[in-house]
């Protein structure tokens, strides 16, 4: 049984208290004390940090296009705001650059998002719509407490063109295994070299634990996805990542729906907030989107290596995240829009459903 | 000893610290000379005099057309930077959070970096970043740093710090590197090469191919910035068709050798 640490402080908006997800969470946490606020600005400044949990219902548009990166190819991922913030403590996390002075936030009513997704799916019935809740926080870190993913899964499972992806660095899948209608839901795991997981990914689950959780999810009927992101260059990186890639043999390869690759990247603002970790003293250069990445030839070399090693394990499409046209050409020889396995993913889908 | 000083001479003296001052007595008190004397640090070296505190008071007195200002002068060896900061704190009684953070940050710096920040030769952020450099390094680098612009100084110290961190240089090795760079004819370029060896190698490969063909021709070829991308740009001017023809011939010659190099620079490592 998972033991949950009650957050130091909990703030709720008035309407959130009656939501089933919040009732469930308060029960699981042993009915802790909380304070009521109308909006997060009422939380005292000294409590505006990730030791504070703020729970509310709905705050306007909750489904967005993944921001992607200027000048780089986008996989048209749509994101849902469920959990904003994360306490796993990865040293490279982009959220350090903008969420350090915000509480951990839960938008505990996914029904508007579900309606929005249903409308979009109906508007574009012949397009695959990929949507996930792991952009601004771990999809499953707090989910055993709030059970929001269950509502999402059940809300879209009948839509054949919707692929809901729940991305995590935890093993928190067991509360989802008994859902009867899973639709096209994928449980996705961020993966890394074991050395990077141990040294840079804070309180996240080990690689072995994540693979074991993936196997449980697959046996329960879920499809899987894996994201090697961020790929970090360090002495012995090939051996390090080979260990993780080898672990993929433990999951049924026909369950792996897609794999993405993304080398380490960061904005200048994030770099200023990061500790001086050894991996940050490699050579990084500014790219067209303002983010710093490894030199282009080095990235291409690394991606080619990953493609070769992963292709020996799986036939799942392996795509690049937030990469330039030139890198795509250097790795694959062509752009994703010209490749059958990626065409659906990389052709633009407007993010505006008629209500 | 408190004395009076003409306001014209005082108003041109820069502040020692880059901290915002809020304390300002009422006008009637200022006109009656009821205010703390402005502490001045009179330094004999080329860095000149500095106003430890009171810039806002001096500016207000100038607006009020007051001719003379009460000052307390400190000679070079009478006060240190740390003591000057304590004096600033005592006089200003700051209560804004950001100001007190900046002062706490300033206090974390070793003396050589405090001097650079206090003299507005380095920003506080960069100084904090590099504050754990081995002892003695900044003193060795100071003559070199004097020759650099403000932004070059920032870049130099950051690069130096990153090399020390990356290569885990101990004090002796750090000192050796500092001395090597001080002796260099182009220290910033050399440090850049040490910090970015792979990028430097790409640049060398590019120049080895392009420079022999283009030298003296007036044609410039620019690779993509940091070899990110695959678009190269050409720039030249001409006045007559004959000139254009000659330049086209040179570019034709370059076109025959450049493809494998482009491939190597943008897609492959050696």
Locate B263 and state its tokens.
């491939």
* DSSP track, A39-73: SGGGS-GGG-STTEEEEES--S--EEE----TTSB
Counted residue by residue, chain A has a size of: 355
Q: What angle do CA B258, B264, B265 make, to 5 degrees?
A: 85
In the prediction, which pLDDT does A60 show?
62
Which whole-number Å values give the CA distances from B184 to B145, B190, B196, B200, in the listed order? 13, 8, 17, 17
Q: What is the pTM of this model?
A: 0.84
CB contact under 8 A, B228 and A281: no
List of chain B residues whose C-beta atoms are within 8 Å of the C-beta of residue A323? none
Q: Which of A326, A329, A330, A334 would you mutate first to test chain B, the one with the most B CBs within 10 A?
A: A326
Question: Residues A30, A36, A39, A42: is their CA dihedral positive or negative?
Answer: negative
**CA nearest B164 in A: which residue?**
A281
Cis peptide before B8 (omega within 30 of 0): no
Six token digits for residue A115: 């309606």
In A, minimum Cα distance to B168 occurs at A278
Helices (H), chain A: 20-28, 96-99, 111-123, 143-146, 148-156, 194-200, 207-219, 237-247, 268-273, 296-311, 325-332, 340-346
- pLDDT one-digit tens code per residue, A188-235: 999 999 999 999 999 999 999 999 999 999 999 999 999 999 999 999
**CA contacts within 13 A on the Cβ side of B223:** 23
Mean pLDDT of chain B: 90
Q: Is residue A322 within 8 Å of A299, Cβ to Cβ? A: no
Mean pLDDT of A12-34: 93
Note whether A297 contacts B265, CB cutoff 8 Å.
Answer: yes
Q: Are B224 and B199 spatial neighbours (Cβ–Cβ below 8 Å)? A: no
CA distances for B55 relative to A287, B58, B86, angstroms: 43, 5, 17
| Minimum distance, in Å, between the CA of residue A285 and any CA atom of chain B | 7
Phi, psi of B41 (to 5 degrees): -105, 110
pLDDT of residue B220: 95
Name the token pair of B200: 């430097």
The residue among B267, B268, B270 with the most chain A CBs within 10 A of its CB, best to mutate, is B267
Q: A101 in contact with B at a CB cutoff of 8 Å?
A: no
Residue pLDDT, tens place only, B22-36: 888 889 999 999 999
- Name the residue among A281, A287, A326 with its Cβ closest to that of B166: A281
Q: Which of B225, B226, B227, B261 to mutate to test the interface with A (most CBs of A within 10 A)?
A: B226
* pLDDT single digits (tens) B102-131: 777 888 899 899 889 888 889 999 999 999
Give the number of A-B residue pairs with CB atoms closer than 8 Å: 60
Token code pair at residue A342: 């990626």
pLDDT of residue B174: 96
Measured distance CA(A262)–CA(A256) in Å, rounded: 18
Instruction: Check CB contact under 8 Å for B269 and A330.
Output: no
Which residues, in sequence order, are CB contacts of A71 under 8 Å at separation 6+? A287, A288, A289, A324
pLDDT at A75: 75
Average pLDDT over residues B227-256: 95
DSSP labels, A154-203: HHHTT-TTEEEEEEESS-TTGGGTT-S--TT-EEEEEE--HHHHHHHSTT
Task: Tell me: pLDDT of A349 over 80.
Answer: no
Q: List chain B residues with CB under 8 Å of A287.
A: 226, 228
Q: What is the nearest CA distance from B76 to chain A, expressed in angstroms? A: 36
Closest chain B C-alpha to A286 CA, distance in angstroms: 8
Nearest CA in chain B to A301: B268
Across the interface, whether the CB atoms of A324 and B229 are under 8 A apart is answered: yes
pLDDT at A68: 65
- The mean pLDDT of A2-15, rounded to a whole number, is 81
Share of chain B above pLDDT 70, in %: 95
Residue B266 contacts A, CB cutoff 8 Å = yes
Residue A187 pairs in a beta bridge with A166, A224
Torsion sign (Cα): A299, A305, A308, A312: negative
Q: Which residues, at least 6 apart from B75, have a Cβ–Cβ distance to it below 8 Å? A: B42, B44
**Closest chain B residue to A300 measured between Cα atoms?**
B267
Structure tokens that stand for A181 in this block: 């209608």
Contact between A296 and B198 using a beta-carbon 8 Å cutoff = no
Average pLDDT (B189-216) is: 95
Average pLDDT over residues B68-95: 84
Please, which pLDDT band fits residue A271 given cuts at 50, 70 and 90? confident
Q: What is the CA radius of gyration of chain B?
A: 27
Q: What is the mean predicted confidence (pLDDT) over A161-178?
A: 96
Choose among B195, B230, B269: nearest Cβ to A326: B230
Nearest-angstrom CA–CA distance, B198 and B201: 5
B264 chain-A contacts, CB cut-off 8 A? 297
Strands A256-263 and A318-320 come out as parallel
In B13-72, the residues whose Cβ lies within 8 Å of chain A are: none
Partners of residue A330 in chain B, C-beta under 8 Å: 266-267
pLDDT confidence tier of residue A275, bands split at 50, 70 and 90: confident
Chain B: residue nearest A296 by CA? B228
Quote the CA–CA distance of A120 and B232 in Å, as a whole number: 42
CA B4/CA B6 separation, integer angstroms: 7
User: Does the beta-carbon distance from B226 to A281 stay under 8 Å?
Assistant: no
Q: Treating both helix axes as pointing N-terminal to C-terminal, what angle do A111-123 and A148-156 enclose, rounded to 10 degrees?
A: 30
Which segments of chain B does DSSP mark as H helices, in order?
Answer: 7-11, 27-31, 55-63, 81-92, 97-108, 111-118, 124-129, 137-146, 150-167, 171-183, 187-195, 197-214, 241-267
Of A347-351, B79-83, B118-122, B203-207, which range is least confident?
Answer: A347-351
Please, are residues A34 and A10 in contact by the beta-carbon 8 Å criterion? yes
Tens of pLDDT, residue by residue over A301-342, are: 999 999 999 999 999 999 999 999 999 999 999 998 888 888
Residue with tokens 């796993």: A88
User: What is the spatial distance between Cα B119 and Cα B17, in angstroms, rounded to a whole number?
Assistant: 8
Percent of chain A beyond pLDDT 70?
A: 92
Is A299 in a helix, a strand, or coil?
A: helix
Looking at beta carbons, which residues of chain B come within 8 Å of A297? 202, 227, 264-269
Distance from CA of A342 to the nearest CA of B (A): 22
Task: Tell which residue, B269, B102, B106, has the closest CA to residue B199.
Answer: B269
**Per DSSP, what are the bridge partners of residue A190?**
A227
Q: Tell me how many degrees the CA angle A165-A170-A174 measures, rounded to the nearest 5.
A: 75
Can you give the pLDDT at residue B251? Answer: 95
Mutate to test the interface with A, among B124, B131, B202, B229 (most CBs of A within 10 A): B229
pLDDT given at position B270: 43
In sequence order, which residues have a C-beta less than 8 Å from that of residue A220 and are 6 or more positions away?
A: A176, A177, A178, A182
CA-to-CA separations, B101 to A1, A221, A270, B96, in angstroms, rounded: 44, 54, 20, 9
Pairing between β-strand A83-84 and β-strand A104-107 as defined by DSSP bridges: antiparallel
Identify any residues that bridge with A132 across adjacent strands, giving them in sequence order.
A79, A165
Per-residue pLDDT reduced to its tens digit, A137-154: 899 999 999 999 999 999
pLDDT score, position A1? 42
Please list, in sequence order, all residues whose beta carbon lies within 8 angstroms of the beta carbon of residue B162, skipping any fewer than 6 positions away. A281, B195
Q: Cβ of B225 and A324 within 8 Å?
A: no
């Amino acid at each position: 049984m998972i033991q949950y640490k009650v957050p130091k402080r909990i703030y709720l908006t008035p309407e959130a208290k009656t939501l089933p997800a919040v009732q469930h969470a308060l029960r699981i946490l042993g009915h802790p004390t909380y304070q009521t606020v109308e909006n997060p600005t009422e939380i005292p400044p000294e409590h505006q940090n990730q030791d504070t949990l703020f729970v509310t219902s709905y705050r306007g548009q909750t489904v967005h296009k993944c921001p992607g990166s200027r000048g780089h190819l986008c996989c048209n991922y749509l994101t849902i705001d469920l959990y904003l913030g994360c306490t796993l403590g990865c040293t490279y996390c982009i959220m350090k650059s903008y969420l350090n002075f915000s509480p951990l936030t839960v938008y505990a009513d996914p029904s508007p998002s579900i309606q929005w997704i249903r409308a979009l799916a109906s508007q574009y019935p012949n397009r695959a719509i990929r949507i996930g809740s792991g952009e601004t926080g771990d999809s499953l870190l707090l989910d055993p407490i709030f059970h929001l993913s269950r509502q999402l899964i059940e809300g879209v499972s009948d839509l054949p063109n919707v692929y809901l992806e729940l991305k995590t660095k935890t093993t928190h899948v067991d509360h989802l295994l008994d859902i009867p209608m899973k639709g096209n839901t994928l449980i996705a795991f961020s993966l890394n070299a074991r050395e990077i997981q141990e040294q840079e990914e804070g309180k996240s689950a080990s690689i072995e634990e994540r693979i074991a959780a993936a196997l449980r999810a697959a046996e329960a009927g879920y499809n899987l996805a894996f994201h090697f992101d961020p790929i970090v260059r360090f002495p012995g990186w090939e051996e390090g990542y080979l260990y993780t890639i080898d672990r993929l043999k433990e999951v049924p390869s026909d369950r792996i729906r897609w794999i993405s690759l993304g080398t380490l990247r960061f904005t200048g603002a994030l770099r200023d907030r990061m500790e001086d970790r050894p991996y940050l003293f490699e050579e990084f250069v500014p790219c067209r989107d303002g983010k710093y990445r490894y030199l282009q030839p080095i990235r291409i070399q690394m991606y080619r290596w990953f493609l070769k090693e992963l292709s020996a394990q799986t036939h799942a499409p392996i795509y690049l995240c937030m990469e330039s046209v030139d890198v795509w050409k250097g790795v694959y020889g062509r752009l994703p829009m010209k490749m059958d396995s990626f065409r659906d993913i990389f052709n633009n889908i407007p993010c505006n459903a008629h209500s | 000893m408190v004395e009076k000083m003409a306001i014209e001479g005082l108003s041109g003296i820069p502040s020692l610290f880059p901290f915002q001052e809020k304390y300002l007595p009422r006008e009637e008190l200022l006109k009656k000379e009821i205010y703390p004397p402005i502490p001045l640090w009179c330094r004999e070296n080329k860095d000149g005099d500095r106003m430890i505190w009171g810039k806002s008071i001096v500016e207000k007195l100038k607006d009020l057309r007051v001719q003379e200002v009460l000052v307390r002068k400190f000679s070079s060896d009478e006060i240190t930077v740390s003591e000057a900061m304590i004096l600033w704190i005592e006089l200003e009684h700051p209560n804004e959070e950001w100001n007190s953070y900046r002062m706490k940050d300033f206090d974390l710096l070793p003396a050589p970096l405090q001097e650079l920040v206090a003299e507005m030769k380095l920003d506080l952020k960069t100084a904090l970043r590099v504050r754990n450099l081995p002892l003695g390094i900044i003193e060795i680098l100071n003559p070199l740093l004097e020759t650099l612009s403000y932004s070059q100084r920032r870049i130099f110290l950051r690069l130096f710090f990153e090399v020390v961190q990356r290569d885990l240089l101990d004090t002796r090795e750090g000192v050796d590197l500092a001395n090597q760079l001080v002796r260099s004819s182009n220290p910033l370029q050399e440090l850049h090469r040490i910090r970015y060896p792979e990028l430097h190698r790409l640049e060398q490969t590019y120049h080895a191919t392009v420079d022999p063909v283009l030298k003296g021709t007036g044609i410039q070829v620019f690779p993509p910035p940091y070899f990110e991308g695959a678009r190269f740009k050409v720039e030249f001017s001409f006045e007559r068709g004959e000139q254009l023809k000659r330049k086209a011939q040179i570019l034709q010659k370059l076109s025959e050798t450049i493809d494998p190099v482009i491939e190597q620079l943008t897609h492959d490592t050696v």
